[in-house]
Amino acid sequence: MKGKAHASIGLLTYYNYTILSNTEFTILGGAISLFFSLLPDLDHFNSVISKKLSNKKIESFIEAMMMLIPLSMLFYLGYLKKFDYSILFFLCLVLFISIKKKIKTSIIRKLIISIFLILICILSYNLFKNIAIVKLLLFFILIPWFSHRTFSHSIFSAFILYFITNNLGFIIKNLNMIATLSYLSHLFLGDILTPQGIPLFWPISKHRFKLNPFKGQHSVNIIENIVIVLMVLLAFYLTFVSIKYKTPQQILLGSSIFNIS
């Protein structure tokens, strides 16, 4: 599914949750839901978050550093050992070519994300002195280094996220529910409906669960539009009945069940 579809479904999930839980819909909550609905795709170098955190200048700088640091170390070692300059030049050239061939955009973007999150991690801990924030950021750092649709698309990652965010209620009320539901919307209202499916029980099982028997992107486009329309209709329904009914059960089932005037 496209990033925009995941974001839309995640935001609608948060909105519907606020009505059912009788909590306030906030801009901060909306921003959090958008982020966590996109988070599982952080394991793909071309995801929305990866592209937002990267640009050509930063990627070029990281690539230059990845070549310059080992080359400088080799040159310094050669200088200390008093290698012949022609041999040293040859070794540096071989190392340069080897590194250049191995460096890919995906690796550079993963490094950029990791470096950025490590800096945020250090800053956050110094500001809040809360180990839960550090754990959450380490969870973020971990995701890009797994293959696409493995760890981040399993239910185990959602469980880990829930327990980590359980101690972050001081940021916003019910943060653990907002983050986890938005994250799960990516899995169960998104990627499980694609032909590729998702490995829900990875690493115990690599079997991919899918609710889409068709092949090709065309079916995905149709299904994601249907899901968004259904979520919008649910939002309208919940909004309408919430004006009259106050408890989550009354809002969800309406007057036909509760017979309340």
Task: State pLDDT tens for residues 147-179.
Answer: 888 999 999 999 999 999 988 888 888 899 999
- Average pLDDT of the chain is 79
Q: From CA 228, how far away is CA 243, in angstroms rounded?
A: 23
Neighbour count for residue 178 (Cβ, 10 Å): 27
149 touches 196 (CB < 8 A): yes
pLDDT at 126: 77
Express each pLDDT in 228-255 by its tens digit: 999 999 998 888 887 766 555 555 565 4
Helix axes 3-20, 175-188, angle to 10 degrees: 130
Q: From CA 240, how far away is CA 210, in angstroms rounded?
A: 33
Beta strand segments in the chain, E? none
Mean pLDDT in residue range 131-145 = 85
- Give CA separation, 252 vs 20, 229, 238, 256, in Å: 7, 18, 7, 11
161 touches 137 (CB < 8 A): no
Mean pLDDT in residue range 185-195 = 91
pLDDT at 219: 75
Of 1-10, 11-20, 114-123, give the lowest mean pLDDT range.
Answer: 114-123
Q: From CA 167, how far away is CA 186, in angstroms rounded?
A: 23
pLDDT at 122: 76
DSSP state of 198: B
39 touches 258 (CB < 8 A): no
Token reading at 140: 């973020």
Q: From CA 2, how far away is CA 96, in angstroms rounded?
A: 37
Among residues 1, 3, 14, the alpha carbon closest in space to that of 231 is found at 14
Among residues 112, 132, 111, the alpha carbon closest in space to that of 121 is found at 132
Express each pLDDT in 83-96 by its tens digit: 665 666 666 666 66
Number of alpha carbons in the 13 Å side-chain half-sphere of residue 23 = 17
132 touches 149 (CB < 8 A): no
How would residue 105 be classed by pLDDT, with cut points 50, 70 and 90?
low
Of 77-81, 124-128, 145-149, 198-202, give the lowest mean pLDDT range.
Answer: 77-81
Task: Residue count of the chain, please give it.
Answer: 261
154 touches 202 (CB < 8 A): yes
Mean pLDDT in residue range 38-56 = 72
How would residue 261 be classed by pLDDT, with cut points 50, 70 and 90?
very low
pLDDT at 184: 95
- Give CA separation, 260 vs 173, 225, 250, in Å: 30, 35, 9
Most confident of 67-76, 137-146, 202-211: 202-211
